[in-house]
Chains A and B, each alone.
Chain A
Amino acid sequence: MKKSYATAGALLAASLALGACSGGDSKSGASASASASASATASASASATASASASATASPSAPATVTGTQFDNFPTYGYDLGNTRHAPYTEITKDNVSELGVIWSADFKQLDSDVKNGNQSYPVVVDGVIYVTTAGNQVFAFDAVTGGQIWHWKPPAEQAATFSKAGIIANRGVAVGEGKVFMLTIDNQLVALDQKTGELVKMIKLSDTIEGVTLEGGYYETTAPVYYKGNVYIGSSGGDNGVRGFVNAYKAGDLTPAWDAPFWTVPPKGQDWLANSKFQGGGAVWNPPAIDEETGIMYFAVGNPAPDFYGADRPGNNPYTDSVVAVEAATGKLVWAKQEISHDLWDYDAAASPMILNATVKGQKKKIVVEGGKSGQWYAWDAKTGDVVWDGIPFAKIQHPKPTPEGVLVYPGVLGGENYAPETYDPDTNYVLIPGIESPSLLKSAKNQDEASTPDSPGAAAFGTSLGETPANVESYGTITAMDVGTGKQAYQVKTKDAMRGGLTSTASGIAFYGELDGKINALDIKSGKVIWTFQTAGDNIQAAPAVFKVDGKSYITFTSGGTKPKVYVFGLGGDKTQGKAGNADTGSAHNANDDNTKNSDNTDKKTDNEDK
């Protein structure tokens, strides 16, 4: 009885949200999104005391129900469609942040043994339900307060087998809209699940509408989709396999295309700057777009040109690689494009999602689009015109010496700069917080050729293996840079032990939350730049930013951890303060992952945790 009451209540709440969308204190307009919804019947559901400290173990045989009657959401990848990751919740303050503890956590591998190592999923929270994906494209819906599993979807075994062959299995989360949960799979399919039950509504192959978008063709999908005004927006991965990057739009209702053609980020092979290139050009779109609900313009960041380190066959600027591109969300028509790095030779993608800010710039209110690149430089443009506001302000060491046979250290290295990790914006301080990586790459003018070659065969030349490059013995760490949007100057820079790979989420009480690769979750006082709370979770490799939400007026923080112990956590005031052991950081160096990962029998580990952008 309880279950059916709760379901009815949830449905009613959802319909209220869709119909009236009264808004509450949320800024988001993403459909079934941030809304304070009340339900007459929801009182039949479990009360939201939410101070229990025990870890929840979900029972698949008895689906959990939704706790609470009033919900303040984190409804899309970036909290709002502008990707500010700034939630207006104030219950957790600088004074009480030390009272945060674990409300519940769940170990994905206990919930399903087929869950893969590594996790880069950014949770989305709608009406008391946390929607989160895992490596290997499983989707879980948890009651946000108790951790009870409401539903769980996993791809058919046959499809999952394809994923593990693909090697890269990271996934960055879902979009929620029109009663459905959307996810992209590694093998280039778009999935729509019923938001209430998790049942598969539809799954389409992108190659049915965009020729050649297959794993064999070098394409894959890791990005979270974004829902806006009836459409689901997707990017593409595989730029370094020499694919032709694109963005496309599908109708949420039936997953048919919403645009006549994808927006291609680079020319077709054989034209323009690819006239003489053997490669297709690259230009992946690794992360979700930002969408301006006032103008209907969407902005996305485009990855590096291919081949990454050799530019002789791709003359010129190589548009739109390493760029932020503005298109009409309804049609995909180009509005403007601005390039960060012209003729890139360093793998300096514009990887992280852009943000749309209404900020004070040089003393005047202005709507701008900002993005930090793997180049270690941060940019701002006028949202409407693309006119430059701040042009490549450094937030990392930048040094490009001429390569020698012995090798030189190039800063930033192939990890960035700012990799896929998203920034957050705090309107009170007018600071953008940039998650950075300080990890140089060793570049040589000619490579080691001591090949252990095989004997010559008639008419063929033998070749073989050789020693790999020794990783440069240099200090690698992370940074959080507070960029003053008004002045274009750094307010401060915080050094973090490991590379910043997850990104940040801020609240209206002036706190930014972020995880680290050793499994710590931290709170930063945005104004002072001081770390005011740190908590060692039982997991490791937090590689995605938290989501902050409320149920019945109480604030919660949820995030995932990766590594070999992929988990999901919910923190709140009064939660369990028992901490775990420090985890091993996988710094995601290009050369090798840490031993725990590479030696693990799970064949997908190395690439999972190394997956960039």
Chain B
Amino acid sequence: MKRWTIVLSSVLLAAALAGCKGSEDAGGGAAPGAAVATASVAPSAGSANETGAGAILALERDSFTLKQWKNDGSHMTAMSGTLKLGDLPVAGAVIHAGASKRDIVTQDDGSFALTVDRSLLSETPVKVVAVDQAHAGGKPLGDQAASALLKAEAFYSVYYPIEITRADDAPGKEGEVEVHARIVSDPGDVVTFFQVDKYRIGGTVKDADGAPVKDAVVWIDRDEGEGFGKSTPTDAEGRYELYYLPEQEEGTNLSVTIGTTRYTLPENRVFHIPEETSVQINITLPSEGTVIDDKPPTLVSVTSPGAMYTGVLAGLRVPKGTSYTVTIPDQEGRFVLTLRKSVWDMKPRFFETKLTRFVEDRQLSWGDSLPSGFLQAEAGDPSVEAGGAEMD
């Protein structure tokens, strides 16, 4: 349990925030996140500005190792924080943490409480969003104090520690190094990293004359169970797509909706959509009625390449344009980076990301090598200093 009480200047604050947001190649310690952020205030008469002190938003902790979801709820952790103007507690200020947008109101002693979901990778900004009702040490806020408080921001992150097993010269690659690393989960946890999430159902909708139909929605639903999938509206070329995971061995209804008209397969006809593949279904609508003739050429159904993948990957926070490769972690979290030794010697930090992407040109499995362009750090992805992360 760390409790940061360092006060930074507002100039340093800007740097700290930049680092927290994961700008490329930013320095900093393990799992980033300034636990304390301040903004200084010039004194002014008749209000809490008189303190001349900085706004301090402090969190009890700035980082958490990831605890997987447990049915006893133990992955949910309470955390406290305080908001102060110099030594004065700020009460009645409204704080937001991450995307939740819950109004967290500071108490008389400046304290506030929030809950951290430790099962989800994150780098969560905590910031002051409103001070209309706030007061510091019992006094109303002046404009400058309010302004300083509204700039106060801190972060906490939830991450898997990364340990480096070894770093060797890359065989046959002059000046490059092969870094063997591991994403570390808690003992007993099963982590399945990047894997197939869904398959694509795509194709075209055309009218009886062969002209593309725009704004048609293709809809599939299970014949004997609950569940459905809805496509994007067709574009000017009549193209649609939806992402779906068929259950085994079962019939699927298909329909096309244009405005309030619904076209269906003939009565009691269903698809058996093949497993473990994307498919292309090209539909030509009838000139009369609303029943689709379920034979070629009006209904052409073939398998097609590609799959939607999702899961956890690790990458490096390095300057733009720095290329490297990284493998998809295996079930023990082991992965291999290949990069220029000069880049590795600068001790870049890692980021961890939960990526979801449709990949059409290849099938992916653990151990497969991905180019650095494949995975970019997104806002909200935690940074990790390999080997230096503390466990608890």
List the A residue with the shortest CB-CB distance to B242. Answer: A216
A218 to B220 alpha-carbon distance, docked (Å) = 12
User: Is there contact, CB below 8 Å, between B249 and A446?
Assistant: yes
Interface residues of B in 276-323 (CB under 8 A from A): 277, 279-280, 294-296, 299-304, 310-312
A275 and B190 in contact, given A267-B68, A308-B225, A441-B224 (Cβ under 8 angstroms): yes
Tell me, yes or no, whether A452 is within 8 Å of chain B by CB. Answer: yes
B114: A residues at CB distance < 8 A: 260
CB 8 Å contact bits of B209-234 with A (1 = contact, 0 = none): 00000000101011111111110110
CB distance from B357 to the nearest CB of A (A): 15
**Which of B115, B190, B268 sits near A331, CB closer than 8 Å?**
B115
Number of contacts between A and B (CB, 8 Å)?
208
A271: B residues at CB distance < 8 A: 68-69, 119, 189-191
A469 and B223 in contact, given A454-B296, A460-B304 (Cβ under 8 angstroms): yes
Tell me, yes or no, whether B342 is within 8 Å of chain A by CB. Answer: no
**Which of B76, B119, B192, B225 sits near A414, CB closer than 8 Å?**
B225
List the A residue with the shortest CB-CB distance to B68. Answer: A271
User: Is there contact, CB below 8 Å, between A241 and B192?
Assistant: no
Tell me, yes or no, whether B45 is within 8 Å of chain A by CB. Answer: no
B100: A residues at CB distance < 8 A: 209, 257, 259-261
B300: A residues at CB distance < 8 A: 454
**Which of A332, A337, A347, A467 sits near B270, CB closer than 8 Å?**
A467
B190: A residues at CB distance < 8 A: 271-272, 275-276
Tell me, yes or no, whether B392 is within 8 Å of chain A by CB. Answer: no
A455 to B117 alpha-carbon distance, docked (Å) = 51
User: Is there contact, CB below 8 Å, between B224 and A601?
Assistant: no
Interface residues of B in 170-216 (CB under 8 A from A): 189-193, 195-198
A456: B residues at CB distance < 8 A: 302
User: Is there contact, CB below 8 Å, between A256 and B102?
Assistant: yes
CB distance from B162 to the nearest CB of A (A): 17
Question: Interface segment, B10-18, B80-88, B145-153, B255-263?
Answer: B255-263
Tell me, yes or no, whether A612 is within 8 Å of chain B by CB. Answer: yes
Tell me, yes or no, whether B362 is within 8 Å of chain A by CB. Answer: no
User: Is there contact, CB below 8 Å, between A468 and B251?
Assistant: yes
Tell me, yes or no, whether B274 is within 8 Å of chain A by CB. Answer: yes
Tell me, yes or no, whether B368 is within 8 Å of chain A by CB. Answer: no
A215: B residues at CB distance < 8 A: 230
A584: B residues at CB distance < 8 A: none
A298 to B104 alpha-carbon distance, docked (Å) = 22
List the B residue with the shortest CB-CB distance to A204. Answer: B101
Question: Interface segment, A63-71, A164-172, A378-386, A571-579?
Answer: A164-172
**Which of A260, A308, A337, A451 sits near B272, CB closer than 8 Å?**
A451
User: Is there contact, CB below 8 Å, between A461 and B274?
Assistant: yes
A454 and B197 in contact, given A241-B229, A269-B310, A463-B272 (Cβ under 8 angstroms): no
CB 8 Å contact bits of A298-336 with B (1 = contact, 0 = none): 000000001111100000000110000000000111100
Q: How would you classify the secondary structure of chain A's contact residues: helix, strand, loop or mixed?
A: loop
User: Is there contact, CB below 8 Å, between B272 and A261?
Assistant: no
A261 and B115 in contact, given A218-B229, A449-B272, A466-B269 (Cβ under 8 angstroms): yes
User: Is there contact, CB below 8 Å, between B302 and A278?
Assistant: no
Tell me, yes or no, whether B120 is within 8 Å of chain A by CB. Answer: yes
B303: A residues at CB distance < 8 A: 460-463
User: Is there contact, CB below 8 Å, between B245 and A278?
Assistant: yes
User: Is there contact, CB below 8 Å, between A211 and B221?
Assistant: no
A292: B residues at CB distance < 8 A: none
Interface residues of B in 29-70 (CB under 8 A from A): 68-70
Tell me, yes or no, whether A391 is within 8 Å of chain B by CB. Answer: no
User: Is there contact, CB below 8 Å, between A463 and B251?
Assistant: no
A454 to B296 alpha-carbon distance, docked (Å) = 6
A85: B residues at CB distance < 8 A: none
User: Is there contact, CB below 8 Å, between A447 and B272?
Assistant: yes
CB distance from B117 to the nearest CB of A (A): 5
User: Is there contact, CB below 8 Å, between A257 and B272?
Assistant: no
CB distance from B331 to the nearest CB of A (A): 9
B311: A residues at CB distance < 8 A: 270
User: Is there contact, CB below 8 Å, between A320 and B71?
Assistant: yes
CB distance from A591 to the nearest CB of B (A): 6
User: Is there contact, CB below 8 Å, between A464 and B271?
Assistant: yes
A334 and B224 in contact, given A278-B197, A465-B269, A465-B294 (Cβ under 8 angstroms): no
User: Is there contact, CB below 8 Å, between B302 and A276?
Assistant: no
User: Is there contact, CB below 8 Å, between B271 and A465?
Assistant: yes
B192: A residues at CB distance < 8 A: 270, 275-276
**Which of A320, A466, A613 sits near B251, CB closer than 8 Å?**
A466
Interface residues of B in 115-135 (CB under 8 A from A): 115-117, 119-120
CB distance from B214 to the nearest CB of A (A): 14
B310: A residues at CB distance < 8 A: 269
A161 to B117 alpha-carbon distance, docked (Å) = 36
A279 to B221 alpha-carbon distance, docked (Å) = 16
User: Is there contact, CB below 8 Å, between A167 and B230?
Assistant: yes
**Which of A267, A453, A602 sits near B119, CB closer than 8 Å?**
A267
A211: B residues at CB distance < 8 A: 99
CB distance from B78 to the nearest CB of A (A): 9
A167 and B302 in contact, given A259-B102, A261-B115, A414-B226 (Cβ under 8 angstroms): no
A164 to B259 alpha-carbon distance, docked (Å) = 8
A319 to B233 alpha-carbon distance, docked (Å) = 36
B contact residues vs A (CB 8 Å cutoff): 68-73, 76, 97, 99-104, 114-117, 119-120, 189-193, 195-198, 217, 219, 221-230, 232-233, 242, 245, 247-251, 255, 257, 260-262, 265, 268-274, 277, 279-280, 294-296, 299-304, 310-312
Can you name 5 A-B pairs with beta carbons within 8 Å?
Answer: A164-B260, A278-B197, A308-B247, A464-B299, A601-B260
A contact residues vs B (CB 8 Å cutoff): 164-168, 208-209, 211, 215-216, 218, 239-242, 251, 256-261, 264, 267-272, 275-276, 278-279, 306-310, 319-320, 331-334, 337, 347, 414, 441, 446-447, 449, 451-457, 460-469, 590-591, 601-603, 607, 612-613
- For the complex of A and B, 4 pairs with smallest distance between CB atoms: A603-B262, A240-B227, A334-B73, A267-B69
